[in-house]
């Protein structure tokens, strides 16, 4: 297997509603990434999108985006892993280049969540016959986890507020973020309950966006850019599908297993990580992921936020450009935005959001209620 590097990135600013089409968004991000890499052709395109067939009545999206981008004749495949779909597209592009099947591949993610009822469509990432039929949603499942965490570990209901505060603070200086509004701990506490104990400001927003990265073999990467970012590891693991079937619902086994595998592949441990682009779709998920990866012990993840150790100058910076909470979470595009942001951090192009001496970036993406978790490690 060949080593793989990112040589170009493209991001369309996240918006609440885009008037442009799904194909336009995806092709625009692809063209931006190709221009950044200085190429006019790739061998393969791997598109991440979760909801287009339900919200836009559109299947076969990868070929549609390739056509819109003028990339006739190439391999173009759509990839899905529920809410980790963008990371799945990244992994497939990575494997295509690593295996030698492609010398240049683009991973693109795109989502238009504004066109239709996104919440019930997202719920289909759960068990349709045993959970969705009973009214479960991703919000209600995360509310269950937060309630259990509070009961087991004695965390107050407002123990997670700094996850949202930190994300919004970092989004202020990210031009691609949806929200450019600072919020306070009081704002989070006073926001309305969605499913108790989860409040509105504990949740990532419904939004539209697209992002893409160009991948090349590491030994050829400098032909495209002076500062390639290397993918040191890519891994994926699964857990019991239903949260109720897990021995310990608060221990995200898929996150732990995929992180451990990625760390072995990259020959690092969590102490080597400079910053962590976490899947903070809900504050409780960010907390549990910090524990699963080993940045905190069981029941201690919330203290990292409460003690403000997750900020840009903290012990473990997370959501450095706003995260899912404030940059936005257009499902299929989310991990590709995060990959672009990791490139910006590692190449010292993150501006006011720059993490000092950033050497290794960690990306984790959660599918459904953490039944699937993908981990990617990046370095220079």
Token pair in block for residue 134: 């009973």
Q: What is the pLDDT of residue 203?
A: 98
Is 255 in contact with 289 (CB distance < 8 Å)?
A: yes
What is the pTM assigned to this prediction? 0.98
Clarify whether residues 213 and 306 are in a common domain: no
How high is the pLDDT of residue 18?
A: 95
Residue 142 has a pLDDT of 98
269 & 310 share domain: yes
On whether both 307 and 178 belong to a single domain, the answer is yes
Question: Which of helix, strand or coil describes residue 12?
Answer: strand
Residue 129 lies in a domain: no
Cα angle 305-307-309, degrees, rounded to a multiple of 5: 65
Q: 191, 223, 255 — which closes off a domain?
A: 223
Same-domain pairing of 219 and 250? no
What is residue 228's predicted lDDT score, i.e. its pLDDT? 98
* Sole residue written with tokens 């994300």: 167
Residue 115's pLDDT is what? 95
- Does 164 share its domain with 276? yes
Q: Answer whether residue 125 is part of any domain.
A: no
b/e per residue 152-175 (b: at least 16 CB within 10 A): ebebeeebbbbbbbbbbbbbeebe
Which of 223, 252, 270 marks a domain boundary? 223
Reduced to 3 states, what is the DSSP secondary structure of residue 263?
Answer: helix
Does 364 reside within a domain?
A: yes
State how far the Cα of 156 lies from the Cα of 307, in Å rounded to an integer: 14
> Would you say residue 160 lies in a domain?
yes
Decide if 16 is inside a domain. Answer: yes
Q: State whether 51 and 151 are in the same domain.
A: no
Of the residues 166, 191, 223, the one at which a domain ends: 223
The verdict on residue 126 lying in a domain is no
pLDDT tens digits, 22-71: 999 999 999 999 999 999 999 999 999 999 999 999 999 999 999 999 99
Domain shared by 83 and 186, yes or no: no
Report the CATH number that the domain containing residue 58 is assigned in CATH.
3.40.47.10
Sign (positive or negative) of CA dihedral 154, 159, 160, 166: negative
Range of the domain at 309: 134-203+229-379
Does 196 lie in the same domain as 342?
yes
How many domains are there within the chain?
A: 2
CA-nearest of 71, 51, 67 to 59 is: 51
What is the model's pLDDT at position 232? 98
Share of the chain above pLDDT 70, in %: 100
Is 76 a member of any domain? yes
The low-confidence residues of the chain, meaning pLDDT below 70, are none
Asked if residue 176 and residue 74 are part of one domain, the reply reads: no
- 7-34 confidence digits (pLDDT tens): 999 999 999 999 999 999 999 999 999 9
Sign, CA dihedral 186-188-194-197, equals negative
In the prediction, which pLDDT does 331 show?
Answer: 98
Half-sphere exposure of 281 (CA within 13 A, CB side): 26
Residue 268 lies in a domain: yes
If asked whether residues 292 and 344 sit together in one domain, one would say yes
* Residues 60 and 176 grouped into a single domain: no
**Per-residue pLDDT at 375:** 99
Same domain, yes or no, for 172 and 212? no
């Amino acid at each position: 297997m060949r080593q793989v590097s990112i040589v170009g990135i493209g991001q369309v600013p996240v918006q609440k509603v885009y008037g442009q089409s799904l194909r336009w968004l995806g092709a625009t991000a692809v063209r931006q990434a190709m221009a950044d890499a200085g190429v006019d052709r790739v061998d393969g395109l791997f598109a991440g999108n979760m909801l287009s067939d339900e919200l836009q009545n559109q299947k076969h999206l990868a070929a549609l985006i390739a056509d819109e981008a003028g990339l006739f004749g190439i391999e173009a495949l759509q990839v899905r892993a529920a809410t980790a779909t963008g990371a799945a597209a990244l992994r497939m592009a990575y494997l295509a280049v690593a295996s030698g099947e492609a010398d240049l591949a683009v991973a693109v993610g795109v989502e238009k969540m504004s066109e239709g009822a996104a919440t019930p469509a997202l719920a289909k990432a759960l068990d349709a016959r045993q959970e969705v039929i009973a009214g479960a949603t991703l919000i209600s499942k995360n509310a269950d986890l937060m309630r259990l965490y509070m009961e087991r570990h004695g965390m107050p209901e407002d123990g997670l507020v700094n996850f949202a505060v930190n994300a919004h603070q970092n989004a202020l200086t990210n031009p691609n973020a949806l929200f450019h509004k600072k919020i306070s701990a009081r704002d989070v506490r006073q926001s309305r309950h969605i499913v108790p104990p989860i409040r509105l400001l504990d949740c990532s927003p419904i939004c539209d966006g697209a992002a893409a990265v160009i991948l090349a073999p590491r030994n050829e990467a400098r032909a495209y850019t002076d500062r390639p970012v290397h993918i040191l590891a890519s891994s994926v693991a699964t857990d019991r599908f239903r949260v109720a079937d897990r021995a310990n619902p608060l221990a995200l086994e898929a996150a732990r297993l995929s992180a451990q595998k990625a760390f072995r592949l990259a020959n690092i441990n969590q102490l080597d990580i400079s910053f962590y682009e976490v899947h903070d779709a809900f504050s409780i998920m960010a907390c549990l992921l910090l524990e699963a990866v080993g940045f905190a012990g069981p029941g201690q993840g919330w203290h990292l936020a409460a003690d403000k150790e997750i900020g840009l100058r903290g012990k473990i910076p997370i959501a450095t450009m706003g995260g899912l909470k404030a940059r936005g979470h257009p499902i299929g595009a989310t991990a590709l935005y995060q990959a672009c942001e990791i490139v910006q951090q590692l190449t010292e192009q993150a501006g006011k959001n720059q993490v000092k001496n950033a050497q290794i970036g960690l990306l984790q993406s959660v599918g459904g209620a953490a039944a699937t978790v993908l981990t990617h490690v990046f370095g220079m």
